[in-house]
Amino acid sequence: MHANKIIVTDDDIKFTENILLDKGQKFDESRRKYIRDFDTLDLMAVPGSGKTTLLLAKLLILERNLPFSDNSGILVLSHTNTAVEEIKDKIKLFSHRLFNYPNFVGTIQSFVNKYLALPYYEDIYIKKIQSIDEKKYYEAIEKYYNNIKNYTFKSWLINQYDPIEKLKKIRLNENDSLINYVNGKEEEFQLKDKKSNSYIELQKMKKDLLKLGILHYDDAYYLASRYINKNPLIINIIQNRFRYVFVDEMQDMDIHQNNLLEKIFYNYEKEISSLQRLGDINQAIYSNEIHTDNIWKNKKSMHIINGSNRLTKLNAELASRFSIDNNQINGLNNINKNYKPILLVYDKNKVRCYVIQAFSRYVTELFRKDYTTNSIVYKVVSWRRYHEHEDKITLSSYCPNYSYMDQIDNNHHNSVGIITDFYELTKILTKKIIDKLNEAGIKINNNHITKFELINYLKDIDNGEYDKYKLFLYKSINLLFANNYVEFYKQFNAYLKDLIKLLTNKNYSIESTFIDEEGIKLYIKKDANDRKCRMCDIMGVTPIITTVHSVKGETHDVTLFLESFYNSKYESDILHEVICGKTIGEVLQEDYDKIKQLKQEIEDLKDRGKTRGIKTREDKIKSIELAINYKKQYSKLVYVALTRAKSIIGYGISKDKYNEYLEDNINKGEWEIIFV
């Protein structure tokens, strides 16, 4: 392909095996074939297949060939800083040149910032960017909102639902038109008239923030697209700079990131760079969203590795049914016993503690009988953490001691996770305040109090009340994180009394324990000593209770997946046919066939000159397409959960759902069914 063609020798592969594999282990022929191939291709690898190890093997071999004769480099991109650090940590002792110029190993965001957004910005504005940061950007948005001078525009904005949030989500596309969020569509933007006062003001806001150098992460992609459109030669420059490009966890890339990479590195007329993308489209869950669109379209060459060293045969067979691309996992784990998956059927009135404890007792007996050691990783996972209505079962329903801090204390979340937890508790506390004010019949400007009304009122007073409110939230959450609940309750009620006095000029009597009686107890522990609840132990190991998203990429010994209420459904409402034995591919094909039939019926009606019945069929198609979307979403989530464990996987479902969907349809021979 180019002058720096890599020829991989047996000695190269042996070198990587000695560094990356346990003593005596070898790469099989399928993996050797991938390691030797440095042309443009996609690697699809099932969970537990050693995908990252294969990438590291390639990088070690490239290190042996550095520097290249044309001074070009290697580009390695992943989605998170954690993933990048993992790559560096594992091979840095053997890769002195790889992590220096002219090579680049980092996140796609850092790559876009360094090589596209910053150079273009400095060329256009003749100055440096102040910040590319979400928090600072949102602070600038709030400051902008509080200083709007245009009366007509301000009036329009005030009448919008949560105007500050509306401003925060506005972006520019590459044509400088307004869109909502980075992948929004121009035609879906609320304002259609680009010459209207409000449209022009919103556009001006975005451009003014750009001039100030205060950017959201998404703005870097806007600048990058503008740079490429105005200077197409930059594509050739970047391709010549980076001859070998690797994108790890490609399924986690968002649409705009994928499009940018394709624009730069896919040039079918004259392809200079070799681009290899690694991942698994079945695990496309990231940042609490699930990519249902298959933005990772297969390109020239596809290399598939479906052998999982993590999964046993029975676990692999179950997980494969949830595979969107119908790729069957070959369970190669012969070290662990081939246990049947466990279906845990529970009474909705006996959820808290009962479910996890019943599973733990059963697994403990299995392990004792099989002389399993107590050195295990045991996690209990679910999709949704909590719900404001207690009758909706979520992760917090199963364990009274579940809290966000458990996850932080056990170092299973990066800073983004901590920020998310802080944000969630902020929402909960704010809701509690607003609920209590409304219960007391207190109004602002004769209106029922909302978050927007309260915050605007505190800001308008302009005597530091809004800062006092933010400080109260900050201190309260830190008290919760420190398990200092006595002081938290005292401060919460004291602030609420002060706030009511501010709003009414009256003192108001509040039961000091009202907060104890409400939903906060679902999310935070009342006693720090309860953290180690031994009733849920397996062989002395306490389960870590967390979300499916937080365990992606992990390996466990035991994983218990528990159904939760999400988007008005439980997983079995959507996937009962798959649980019973069909593959998700078969289920989706039935839906595709229905759509095909309906489209044919519409064409037949049109051919006969009839219109009656067309709208009904079009609505049915939309309904089926929505159902397909949900099935893909839920299937990917369950797939990730069921592919973590080396030994035992459990699936928890309510007796109501079991009776409704599974009792007469499930293959009972596939499962160990336990009724709680």
pLDDT tens column, 197-212:
999 999 999 999 999 9
CA distances to 348, 360, 524, 635 from 381, rounded to whole Å, are 18, 14, 17, 15
Pseudo-torsion of CA 485, 491, 492, 496, nearest 10°?
A: 160
Is the confidence at residue 523, as pLDDT, over 70?
A: no
Q: At what angle do helices 81-91 and 51-65 cross, to 10 degrees?
A: 60
Q: Percent of the chain at pLDDT above 90?
A: 63
pLDDT attached to residue 432: 83
| Structure-model confidence comparison of residues 605 and 433, the more confident one | 605
In this structure, which topology does domain 316-399+534-675 adopt according to CATH? Rossmann fold (3.40.50)
pLDDT attached to residue 512: 40
Mean pLDDT of 446-465: 80
Is the confidence at residue 26, as pLDDT, over 80?
A: yes
Mean pLDDT of 396-419: 50
Q: What is the DSSP letter of 328?
A: P
CA 204 from chain centre, in angstroms, equals 32
Question: Which segments within 235-333 are labelled E, that is strand?
Answer: 242-247, 274-279, 285-286, 289-290, 302-305, 307-308, 330-331
- Strands 170-172 and 178-180, bridge-based pairing: antiparallel
CB of 64 within 8 A of CB of 237?
A: no
Distance CA 284, CA 278 (A): 12
- Please choose, from the candidates 640, 645, 48, the residue with its C-alpha nearest in 3D space to the C-alpha of residue 372: 645
Mean pLDDT of 416-444: 70
Distance CA 97, CA 61 (A): 12
Least confident span in 243-257, 380-394, 419-433: 419-433
Is the confidence at residue 287, as pLDDT, over 50?
A: no
The per-residue pLDDT of the chain, averaged, comes to 87
CB of 278 within 8 A of CB of 37?
A: no
Distance CA 243, CA 70 (A): 10
Q: Confidence band (pLDDT; 50, 70, 90) for 446? A: confident
CB of 162 within 8 A of CB of 168?
A: no
pLDDT attached to residue 408: 37
DSSP of 138-158, one letter per residue? HHHHHHHHHT---HHHHHHHH
- Alpha helices by DSSP H, 440-464: 451-461
Residues 6+ apart with CB under 8 A from 628: 588, 591, 592
Give bridge partners of residue 247 from the DSSP assignment.
Answer: 77, 277
Is the confidence at residue 250, as pLDDT, over 80?
A: yes
Q: At what angle do helices 451-461 and 415-439 cross, to 10 degrees?
A: 90
Q: Confidence band (pLDDT; 50, 70, 90) for 296? A: low
Ranges for all domains in the chain classified under CATH 3.40.50.300: 10-116+232-305
Superfamily holding 10-116+232-305: P-loop containing nucleotide triphosphate hydrolases (3.40.50.300)
Least confident span in 75-84, 249-258, 462-471: 462-471
Mean pLDDT of 122-134: 95
pTM: predicted TM-score of the whole model, two decimal places: 0.80
Give the 3-state secondary structure of residue 286: strand
Distance CA 403, CA 524 (A): 5
Least confident span in 123-127, 131-135, 420-424, 604-608: 420-424
Is the confidence at residue 633, as pLDDT, over 60?
A: yes
Is the confidence at residue 66, as pLDDT, over 60?
A: yes
Q: Confidence band (pLDDT; 50, 70, 90) for 531? A: very low
pLDDT attached to residue 80: 85
| Structure-model confidence comparison of residues 215 and 458, the more confident one | 215
pLDDT attached to residue 3: 57
- Please choose, from the candidates 227, 317, 321, the residue with its C-alpha nearest in 3D space to the C-alpha of residue 282: 321
pLDDT attached to residue 616: 97
Q: Confidence band (pLDDT; 50, 70, 90) for 508? A: low
